[in-house]
Structure 1
Amino acid sequence: MYLADKTWPELGDYVAEESVAVVPLGSTEQHGPHLPLATDHLIAEALAREAADRAGYLCTPTINIGVSPHHKQFHGTMWVDARVFRDYVESFTRNLTYHGIDRVVYVNAHGGNMQHLREVGRRLRQDEVAFAVEWMWDESIPDLVSDLFEHNGPHGGPKETAMIMHIAGELVRTDQLENARDGGLSNLGEGNFMIHGARNYYDAIDNTENGVLGDQTDATPEKGEQIFEAATEQLVKLLDWVDDARFSDLMAKPHVDPQPGSRRG
């Protein structure tokens, strides 16, 4: 069920009976010469809406702009300050709780959002307002991704390319796949990410001239469909697990005994 397509009376039965919401989040940032800037939020929305429909949960509109300053050198990349992003996500999540939602799964497709979504979830759990958990699609199916792609690459690589081939194939510049591979860093083993134990980079352009990693020529729509289905299956299982759990069991555990101050006179 997609929230924005419904009228408010049509949502009445849902909020009276259910307490789960799926929130897709991505970015609007460079993904090389072959993929659109919309890549991350397209993937997040497609997975979130599919899983929500299959499992019968509520899916909110997509957050299209995330924490992406590490791609700022490339044309068109948009981003928000990390603090602003955290506060914004926390604010609209608290808005959902007003309508009875107390379990939220952030369906995330952008690595730059991960730690910030975890922090928002920690805040909400600390206040016992909601249980909000970040889900990253490729981390749900790591073995399959590794099996399908020899040189995967965490950004603009074959896994994202295959996904967009499957969900929005018309947006893939297939004539640029070889340029993406040859102008980027196709084999991560050849990268120089560490110097004497320190990460020596802050921006994507520090590691790759065209902004992407991995071998994009290894992507196909068929592989995209395979990973889309596998990730959707994992997301449905997560949503059902969150829905089945008692809210109290999802909250922070109490301080171990003896309780602070329990023996003071």
Structure 2
Amino acid sequence: MRLQLSTWPEVEAYLTRSTGIIVPIGSTEQHGPNGLIGTDALCPEIVANGVAERIDVLVAPTINVGMAQHHLAFPGSITLRPSTLIAVIRDMVQSLARTGFRHIYFFNGHGGNVATVQAAFAEIYAENSLAGAPGSPLHLKLANWYQGRRVGEVSRELFAGDEGSHATPSEISLTWHAYPQAAKRVAMQPARAPTGNFRDAEDYRRVFPDGRIGSNPMLASVEAGRRLFEASVEDTIEDYTAFLAR
């Protein structure tokens, strides 16, 4: 069940069955020579919609732009400041809570969002504590689609040390599963990108000139994406169900 494709009476009826909602969150940033710029937002959205086809859960609109300042030297990348993203998350949570949502599950596709989302949660809980309220009715969780147990098993089987940490064959395969027409075969040298540290956007592009970090996305495939999709849907149903139970 997708929020954008629902009417308000349908959402009101849903809230009599559940107070949970999945909020996909990602980023709009470069993903190497053959990865879609929307990869980090598309991946959690694809999996969340797959989850909604199998269990009774509402999926919110995807937060497509995240904290990605370090990618800004590559055309097409867009970022929010951490303070802006915190404000967006706070407003979104408070809007959902206003009408009865209590279990809000942020489903993430971008490692650069993690610290900022956790900071937003801390701000929300702090407001309640400082107000002297008896206890927050809100339950907030951040989950990363790429860290599920089953996803990890498939990724290690298929890609081993070529997975890397950015523009990975796993995330690119997952987007190709949903959008096979976007699959691109591009030669890259070296096959496995280097790893290392960086400071800001200009330093990132100097150290990683084609955008990859430690990965070989030439190994990506539509079939690998199908397997990763199934694995992540199972991981997410298990984790989300446990979150609701708590």
Preserved contact between residue 125 and residue 132 of structure 1 (Cα < 8 Å):
no
Taking a change above 3 Å as real, the CA distance of residues 129 and 70 of structure 1, as seen in their structure-2 partners, is farther
Counterpart in the other structure of 2:241? 240
**Structure 2 CA distance, aligned partners of 1:155 and 1:218?**
14
Deviation, 1:187, is: 4.9
Counterpart in the other structure of 1:186? 192
CA offset digits 1:13-49 (Å, max 9, x no partner) = 1112310010001111111221221111111111111
Aligned ranges for residues 44-83 of structure 1 at < 5 Å? 44-83=44-83
**AA at the equivalent of 1:219:** A
**AA at the equivalent of 1:172:** A
**AA at the equivalent of 1:99:** T
Which has the larger Rg? 1
**Structure 1 CA distance, aligned partners of 2:113 and 2:169?**
21
1:227 matches 2:228: yes
Identical positions, percent? 25
CA offset digits 1:115-163 (Å, max 9, x no partner) = 1112222333442241111111111132332222031111112111211
Counterpart in the other structure of 2:175? 164
Residue ranges of structure 2 left out of the alignment (5+ in a row): 129-135
Counterpart in the other structure of 1:260? none
Deviation, 1:234, is: 0.9
**Structure 1 CA distance, aligned partners of 2:226 and 2:111?**
21
Counterpart in the other structure of 1:21? 21
Preserved contact between residue 41 and residue 109 of structure 2 (Cα < 8 Å):
yes
Preserved contact between residue 94 and residue 129 of structure 1 (Cα < 8 Å):
no
**AA at the equivalent of 1:39:** T
3-state DSSP of counterpart to 1:21? strand
3-state DSSP of counterpart to 1:105? strand
**AA at the equivalent of 1:215:** N
Aligned ranges for residues 15-164 of structure 1 at < 5 Å? 15-126=15-126, 127=128, 128-140=136-148, 141-150=151-160, 151-164=162-175
Q: Single out whichever of 117-126 and 157-166 deviates more from structure 2.
A: 117-126
Preserved contact between residue 125 and residue 131 of structure 1 (Cα < 8 Å):
no
3-state DSSP of counterpart to 1:4? helix
3-state DSSP of counterpart to 1:153? coil
Preserved contact between residue 124 and residue 131 of structure 1 (Cα < 8 Å):
no
Preserved contact between residue 22 and residue 106 of structure 2 (Cα < 8 Å):
yes
Moved segments of 4+, more than 4 Å: none
**AA at the equivalent of 1:222:** E
Counterpart in the other structure of 2:131? none
**Structure 2 CA distance, aligned partners of 1:171 and 1:122?**
38
Counterpart in the other structure of 1:256? none
**Structure 1 CA distance, aligned partners of 2:98 and 2:83?**
23
**AA at the equivalent of 2:4:** A
Taking a change above 3 Å as real, the CA distance of residues 109 and 200 of structure 1, as seen in their structure-2 partners, is closer
Deviation, 1:200, is: 5.1
CA offset digits 1:39-92 (Å, max 9, x no partner) = 111111111111133221110011111111000000011111111101111111
Aligned ranges for residues 202-213 of structure 1 at < 5 Å? 202-203=200-201, 204-213=204-213
Residue ranges of structure 1 left out of the alignment (5+ in a row): 194-198, 246-265
**Structure 2 CA distance, aligned partners of 1:113 and 1:60?**
18
